[in-house]
Chains A and B, each alone.
Chain A
Amino acid sequence: MEGGFIAMPTDVILWILGGLILISAVMSLALRNLIHCALFLMVCFLGLAGLYLHLNAVFSGLVQALVYVGAVGIILIFAILLTEGGGTETGSHLGSQWRTGIGLAVLLAFALLGAVSNSPQTTQAARHTEEPTVREIGLKLMTDYLLPLQTIGLLLTAAAIGAVVLAMQEPKPRKDETP
C-alpha cells in the first residue's frame, strides 16, 4: 500500500505530461492558423522536455528545451512570417488525399501499438541510478564520442552555411530598375 501511495503521484505526472504532449501535437497539426500551430508545437516540445526530466535525464531535457523550444520554434515562426505573412491559410488546409493519409497513420498506429503490447521488452522497471554529471558527459564526448561530435559539428556548419546560401539569394534586379 505504501509503495502504491508513493507511486501514485508519479503516474499522475506521467499521464498529465503524456496528455499534454499528445493534445498539443494534434492541435499543432489541426489548426488553421500557422502561428498557433507553431506555438502548440513549442508546448509539445516543452512537454517532452518535462518527460525527459521526469525520466531523470536532466541533460537531455535541457537540450530538448533549448534546441527545440528555443531554436527550432523560433526559426519556424520566422519562416511562417516570411512566407505567408502569418495569416490563416486561404482555401482548404488539407491536401487532396488527406483521408488516405490519416487512414494510413491510424493503421500504422494500431499495428505498432499491437507490436508494443506484445513485446517482451516492456516489463523492465526503470533504474534509479544517478544522472551522469555534465563533467562525465563532457569527458565522454571528448574521448569515446569524439568522431561523432566532430562529424555533427561539420554537419551543422554545412547546414548553417547551406541555409544562409539558399535563403539569402535576392531576386536579381532588372536592368531598368538600376538606380
Chain B
Amino acid sequence: MTFYLALSVLLFCVGLAGVLARRHAIMALIGIELMLNAANINFIAFWRHSSAADDLSGMFWMIFSVAIAAAEAAVGLALVILVFRHRRSVRLDELESLKG
C-alpha cells in the first residue's frame, strides 16, 4: 500500500513540476493528465486494499474520473488550437493580453 501511495505522490509532483516549469501550453495539459492519473492510482489502490466485500465504488470513482479527464483534455486541446490560431503561439508566458 505504501508503494502505491508513494508512486502516486511522485507522479503527482512530476506532473506539477511539468505544469509549473514548461512554457508550452500542451505540456501543461500533459502535466495535468499525469496529476489526474496519480489520483486514479489512489482510487484503485484503496479500493483493492479496502475491507468492504463487494463495494465497487473505488472503481467507479476511477472510471468517472477518467471520463472527466477525457472531457478536460478535449476541451483544453480545442482551446490550445483556438489560441494558436489567434496568436500564432502557444507559449504560456507570451499570452499576456490581460496583464495590467
Contact = CB atoms under 8 A, between A and B. Distances in A.
A57 to B, nearest CB: 5
Given A29-B15, A123-B1, A163-B77, A156 B71 contact: yes
A142 interface: no
Contacts of B29: 76
At the interface, is chain A mostly helix, strand, loop or mixed?
A: helix
Contact of B77 (A51, A60, A79): A79
B48 A162 contact: no
B85 A55 contact: no
B9 A109 contact: yes
**B interface, size bucket:** 35 or more
Nearest to A114: B9
Contacts of A78: 77
A8 interface: no
Contacts of A136: 56
B26 A80 contact: yes
B68 A155 contact: yes
Contacts, number: 225
B67 A155 contact: yes
Interface residues of A, number: 85
Contacts of B15: 25, 29
Nearest to B62: A60
Interface in B32-57: 33-34, 37, 40-41, 44-45, 47-51, 53-54, 56
Contacts of B84: 82-83
B48 A152 contact: no
Contacts of B10: 22, 109, 113
A29 B27 contact: yes
Q: 7 closest Cβ contacts across the A-B interface?
A: A101-B20, A29-B18, A159-B71, A105-B17, A98-B21, A109-B13, A163-B78
Interface of B: 1-7, 9-24, 26-27, 29-31, 33-34, 37, 40-41, 44-45, 47-51, 53-54, 56, 59-60, 62-64, 66-75, 77-82, 84-85, 90, 92-93
